[in-house]
Structure 1
Amino acid sequence: MLQHFSYKPMFAGGSLPGWTFSFFYQNERFTGDYKPDGTIVWTGGTPSDEENVKKMIHELMTFHVYE
């Protein structure tokens, strides 16, 4: 489970090309960029079970950004 998930637009005004995000997972902090096409680019380390974490991020971003 992701904890303390937060995101913000990459640029002021909320215009594309995407969002930056951060969260804690298994007591480790992770950061990355979420592109409009759903691509995730990690700006720090990569979680050990990356595919599972990506699914959780996609769900959160869909709920918070696109709803």
Structure 2
Amino acid sequence: MITHFQYKPLVKQTTLPGWRISFFFNGIHYNAIYHSNGEIEWGHVLPPKEQESKIKEQIHELMLFHIYE
């Protein structure tokens, strides 16, 4: 489960081209860029391949709730 989810626009005063996101998943801190097309560009720490789709699904839900309501 994702905890401590935070997001902020890459460019002030606009929702494009995307958002910088950070969160914890299973006690590991992740940073990424969430692009306006839904693509996720991971930072230095990559999620395990077997959990990546689960994490992406949760991120998409959170972004829909916070940004695209």
Give the secondary structure class of the aligned counterpart of 1:37: coil
Off by >4 Å, runs of 4+ in structure 1: none
Q: Given residue 58 of structure 2, which amino acid in structure 1 is its aligned partner?
A: M
TM-score, normalised with respect to structure 2: 0.92
What is the aligned partner in structure 2 of residue 21 from structure 1?
Answer: 21
Cα RMSD of the aligned pairs, angstroms, is: 0.8
TM-score, normalised with respect to structure 1: 0.94
Cα deviation for residue 45 of structure 1 reads: 1.0
* Number of residues of Structure 1 aligned to a counterpart in Structure 2: 67
Is there any run of 5+ residues in structure 1 with no aligned partner, and where?
none
> For each residue in 1:4-38, what CA deviation from the matched residue of structure 2 results, as whole angstroms up to 9, or x when unmatched?
00000001112410000000111110000000100
Give the secondary structure class of the aligned counterpart of 2:13: helix
Is residue 10 of structure 1 aligned with residue 10 of structure 2? yes
Q: Percent identity?
A: 43
Cα deviation for residue 52 of structure 1 reads: 0.6
Is there any run of 5+ residues in structure 2 with no aligned partner, and where?
none
Give the secondary structure class of the aligned counterpart of 1:50: helix
Cα deviation for residue 44 of structure 1 reads: 2.2
Q: Counterparts of 2:55 and 2:28 in 1: how far apart (Å)? A: 13
What is the aligned partner in structure 1 of residue 41 from structure 2?
Answer: 41
